[in-house]
Structure 1
Amino acid sequence: MSDQKKYVELFAGCGGLSLGLESSGWKLELANELSPMAAETFAYNILGENLKGGEYNSDSKVSYVENIKSIDVKDWKNKQLVVGDVVKLVENLKSRPELLERFKGIDLISGGPPCQGFSMAGRRTERDPKNKLPYAFVDFVEFVQPKAVILENVEGILRQFSKDGGTKLPWLEVAKAFAAIGYAPLCFLLNARQFGIPQNRPRFIMLGLKKSLKSKIIKKLKSRQQDEIKKIFQHAFEFAEKDTSFIMKYSGKDPAIHIDVINPRFAEMRNLNASEIFLNENLFPEFIEEEISVGEAIDDLAKYGYFKIKSSETTVRKPISGNKYSQSLSDKFTPILNHPLDHTLGLHNHELRNHSAKVQNRFIFLQEIRKIKNNEIRNCLEKCLRGKEVEDKYLERIRATLSNKPRLDGIINTNSNSQLLDSIENIRSKKHSQRAMAKNLPAPAQLTIPDDICHYSEKQPRTLTVREMARIQSFPDEFVFRAKMTTGGKNRRFEVPQYTQVGNAVPPLLGNALGKWVLKILE
Structure 2
Amino acid sequence: MSSRCGRAPAPRSRRRSSCGDRSGRESSRESPRRGIPRPSDALDIVRQQPRSSYVLEGSPMGNNSAAPLTSIDLFAGCGGLSLGFHRAGWRGVFAVERDPMAFETLKANLVGPEAPYRAYEHWPEWLDQKPLDVDEVLGDPEIRARLMGLRDQVDLIAGGPPCQGFSVGGSRNGLDERNEMVQRQLEFVELVRPRAVIVENVEGIARAFRSRPGEEGAKSVAHQVVLELDRLGYDAKFGVADTSRFGVPQVRRRALIVGIRRDLGVTADRFFDNLEAARPRLLEQLGLDPERPVTAGEALSDLTTDERVPSPDSPKFESSPYLAPRSTYARLMRRGSSRSVPDSHRYSKHGERVQALYDLAHATQPKGRLSKEFLLSNGTKKDKKVLIDETQPVSTITTHPDEFIHYAEARNVTVREMARLQSFPDDFEFKGRYTINGPRRRFDVARCSQVGNAVPPHFAEAVGMAMAATLAEAGD
Deviations 1:354-390 (A, max 9, x none): 0012112222333356428xxxxx99x7132454xxx
The letter for the 2-side match of 1:367 is: H
Alignment of 1:393-408 (within 5 A): none
Which of 113, 122, 134 pairs up with 2:161? 113
Check the 8 A contact 1:18/1:28 in 2, yes or no: yes
Which of 293, 296, 300 pairs up with 2:295? 293
Hey, what does 2:102 align to over in structure 1? 38
Alignment of 1:459-470 (within 5 A): 460-470=409-419
Change (3 A) 1:442 1:369: farther
The yes-or-no answer on 1:519 pairing with 2:468 is yes
Hey, what does 1:19 align to over in structure 2? 83
Distance 1:476 1:134 in 2: 29
Distance 2:314 2:211 in 1: 59
Normalising by structure 2, report the TM-score.
Answer: 0.72
Hey, what does 1:477 align to over in structure 2? 426
Unaligned runs of 5+ in 2: 1-47, 50-66, 167-174, 285-289
Deviation of residue 97 (structure 1)?
1.3
Deviation of residue 441 (structure 1)?
0.5
Distance 1:178 1:83 in 2: 28
Deviation of residue 305 (structure 1)?
4.0
Distance 2:123 2:371 in 1: 56
Which of 301, 309, 318 pairs up with 1:307? 309
Deviations 1:392-425 (A, max 9, x none): xxxxxxxxxxxxxxxxxxxxxxxxxxxxxxxx2x
Hey, what does 1:202 align to over in structure 2? 253
Alignment of 1:122-137 (within 5 A): 129-137=177-185
Hey, what does 1:158 align to over in structure 2? 206
Check the 8 A contact 2:343/2:429 in 1, yes or no: yes
Change (3 A) 1:367 1:172: farther
Change (3 A) 1:212 1:311: closer
Check the 8 A contact 2:311/2:346 in 1, yes or no: no
Deviation of residue 184 (structure 1)?
1.2
Distance 1:23 1:310 in 2: 29
Hey, what does 1:85 align to over in structure 2? 133
The yes-or-no answer on 1:328 pairing with 2:317 is no
Deviation of residue 151 (structure 1)?
1.2
Tell me how large the CA RMSD over aligned residues is: 3.7
The yes-or-no answer on 1:167 pairing with 2:217 is yes
Deviations 1:476-513 (A, max 9, x none): 11110000111101121111111111000000000100
Distance 2:321 2:164 in 1: 44
Hey, what does 1:430 align to over in structure 2? 381
Hey, what does 2:74 align to over in structure 1? 10
Check the 8 A contact 1:33/1:83 in 2, yes or no: yes
The letter for the 1-side match of 2:386 is: R
Change (3 A) 1:16 1:454: same
Alignment of 1:93-112 (within 5 A): 93=141, 96-98=144-146, 100-102=148-150, 104-112=152-160
Which of 340, 348, 351 pairs up with 1:353? 348
Secondary structure of 2:94's partner?
strand
The letter for the 1-side match of 2:237 is: L
The letter for the 1-side match of 2:362 is: Q
Check the 8 A contact 1:154/1:204 in 2, yes or no: yes
The letter for the 1-side match of 2:191 is: F
Deviation of residue 131 (structure 1)?
3.7
Alignment of 1:67-86 (within 5 A): 76-77=124-125, 79=127, 81-86=129-134
Distance 1:322 1:510 in 2: 23
Hey, what does 1:65 align to over in structure 2? none
Secondary structure of 2:189's partner?
helix
Deviation of residue 188 (structure 1)?
0.8
Hey, what does 1:391 align to over in structure 2? none
Check the 8 A contact 1:116/1:170 in 2, yes or no: no
Hey, what does 2:358 align to over in structure 1? 363
Unaligned runs of 5+ in 1: 52-60, 63-73, 119-126, 219-229, 237-261, 263-275, 335-340, 373-377, 388-423
Change (3 A) 1:446 1:82: same
Which of 133, 143, 147 pairs up with 2:191? 143
Question: Percent identical across equivalent pairs?
Answer: 31
Normalising by structure 1, report the TM-score.
Answer: 0.66
Secondary structure of 2:309's partner?
coil
Deviations 1:92-144 (A, max 9, x none): 257741454256511011111136889xxxxxxxx874243111000001110
Check the 8 A contact 1:32/1:81 in 2, yes or no: no
The yes-or-no answer on 1:280 pairing with 2:277 is yes
Which of 263, 270, 273 pairs up with 1:212? 263
The letter for the 2-side match of 1:303 is: T
Check the 8 A contact 1:115/1:134 in 2, yes or no: no
The letter for the 2-side match of 1:167 is: G
Change (3 A) 1:358 1:312: closer
Hey, what does 1:179 align to over in structure 2? 230
Change (3 A) 1:504 1:520: same
Change (3 A) 1:319 1:463: closer
Distance 1:346 1:441 in 2: 26
Deviation of residue 522 (structure 1)?
0.6
Hey, what does 1:190 align to over in structure 2? 241
Change (3 A) 1:183 1:366: farther
Deviation of residue 347 (structure 1)?
1.4
Check the 8 A contact 1:184/1:209 in 2, yes or no: yes
Distance 1:90 1:278 in 2: 31
Hey, what does 2:11 align to over in structure 1? none
Distance 1:297 1:76 in 2: 37
Hey, what does 1:246 align to over in structure 2? none
Change (3 A) 1:116 1:142: farther
Check the 8 A contact 2:304/2:323 in 1, yes or no: no
Check the 8 A contact 1:196/1:290 in 2, yes or no: no
Secondary structure of 2:259's partner?
strand
Change (3 A) 1:312 1:9: closer
Deviation of residue 278 (structure 1)?
8.6
Distance 1:282 1:44 in 2: 29
Check the 8 A contact 1:115/1:174 in 2, yes or no: no
Hey, what does 2:454 align to over in structure 1? 505
Secondary structure of 2:255's partner?
strand
Quick check: which has more Rg, 1 or 2?
1
The letter for the 2-side match of 1:502 is: V
Check the 8 A contact 1:192/1:510 in 2, yes or no: yes
Hey, what does 2:13 align to over in structure 1? none
